[in-house]
Amino acid sequence: MSLPRIAVDAMGGDEGVRVMVEGAALARRRHDEFKFLLVGDEPRIAAALDNHPNLRRASEILHCDGVVGGDELPSRAIRRAKTTSMGLAVNAVKTGDAGAAVSAGNTGALMAMSKIALRTMPGIDRPALAAIMPTLQEHDVVMLDLGANTEADARNLAQFAVMGAAYSRIVNGFDKPVVRLLNIGTEEIKGTEELRDAAAMLTAASAGGGLALHFDGFVESDKINRGETHVVVTDGFSGNIALKAIEGSARFVTDLLRQAFTSSLRSKIGFLVSRPATELLRHHLDPNNHNGAVFLGLNGVVVKSHGSANAKGVANAVAVAARLLKNKLTERIAHDLAELGQEAFAHGGNGRSTKSSEAEA
């Protein structure tokens, strides 16, 4: 199947051109239908492509000198959007020069640029940042919002649920993903007014049969990775904290095991015996294997790669973008909203504003 090419911000991330080009080359080796628009400093990109002739044959370079800094305020980055690699990669999606954009740069800037250039879809008030995380089951869990909106009212949360379910159907293949709202308890009386209102709205909409999801109440943070829930919905503030706590716990476990297995000769022998199991654990917890967060709710596909991702991680982010293009994510979300009806989530919000986050997710 012929796919639209993917615009890659070659200057983003901790290591910039080298890792971004290596990641695109790895993705190209795995999927020879991928084509790329590599955006950034042309001499540096061209030099990196010398090591990847297969990628070079499938790529065009769009030169620019500007780079969005990792700590640059989104307001300043927006003003430079026409002269930076990140801004031009997103703009390529707007103009149709690319079907999707991938960047490992500043999350707040990428969110702001994407929202201004692509606008939110009809029926969506605010986009959300969604990512997939491993579980104890065969499938992954989709979680959103992870930092695009520090606050979210009931209407926002209900829209996030619809978008997250559409994403889960693509990555996990479920007809009606199980969706729960992140809360401090599973009882109906627990949580904020926004959470209880959102639960009531989703329960009512589910009862009507118009949602392509199964809403099942609340979930606590210690159950996110159990695999019992397919989509976890929350505001960007809580979601970002939960995500980083999970990532930190994963690093803690792997570091603790490394210390334990090197503490004595007996431990080292034990490591050799258990190495197949520990390698499986390491692979399961490696964030590069789940790299690629998506801004849902925009009129176009934008994928955020982690800034510290290696080439394998960047390749996975590119694969996420291609998969969403192939499975027509934006069309699926639009269809679900149309089936539900615009009036379903028209009420129930508390009218409080939702603020965009400028923090790195």
Delimit the domains of the chain by residue range: 6-118, 132-260+334-345
User: What pLDDT is attached to residue 172?
Assistant: 87
- The average pLDDT across 61-67 equals 93
Helices 236-261 + 265-285 axis angle, to 10: 150
User: What pLDDT is attached to residue 26?
Assistant: 92
Q: Which residue has the higher pLDDT, 128 or 361?
A: 128
Q: Which residue has the higher pLDDT, 255 or 285?
A: 255
User: What pLDDT is attached to residue 82?
Assistant: 92
pLDDT above 90 covers a percentage of the chain that reads 45
pLDDT band at 357 (very low <50, low <70, confident <90, very high): very low
Tokens in use for 279?
Answer: 């390698």
Least confident of 90-94, 157-161, 242-246: 242-246
User: What pLDDT is attached to residue 190?
Assistant: 86
Residue 194 pLDDT exceeds 80:
yes
Stated pTM of the model: 0.83
pLDDT band at 4 (very low <50, low <70, confident <90, very high): confident
Name the 3-class secondary structure at 179. Answer: strand
Tell me if domain 6-118 and domain 132-260+334-345 are identical in fold: yes
Q: Quick one: how far is CA 153 from the chain centroid?
A: 21
Q: Of 206, 222, 193, 136, nearest to 165 (Cα)?
A: 206
Q: Which residue has the higher pLDDT, 250 or 160?
A: 160
Q: Which residue has the higher pLDDT, 280 or 28?
A: 28
The answer for residues whose C-beta is within 8 angstroms of residue 89's C-beta and 6 or more apart is 7, 8, 9, 37, 39, 98, 101, 102, 103
DSSP per residue, 92-141: HHHHTS-SEEEE-S-HHHHHHHHHHHH-BPTT-SS-EEEEEE--SSSS-E
pLDDT above 70 covers a percentage of the chain that reads 84
Tokens in use for 281?
Answer: 């654990």
Q: Which CATH class is domain 132-260+334-345?
A: alpha beta
Residues in the chain: 361
CATH for 6-118? 3.40.718.10
Per the listing, tokens 């431990």 go with 267
- The average pLDDT across 75-85 equals 92
Tokens in use for 79?
Answer: 């003003």
pLDDT digits (tens, 9 = 90+) for 113-148: 999 999 999 888 989 999 888 888 888 899 998 888
Residue 76 pLDDT exceeds 50:
yes
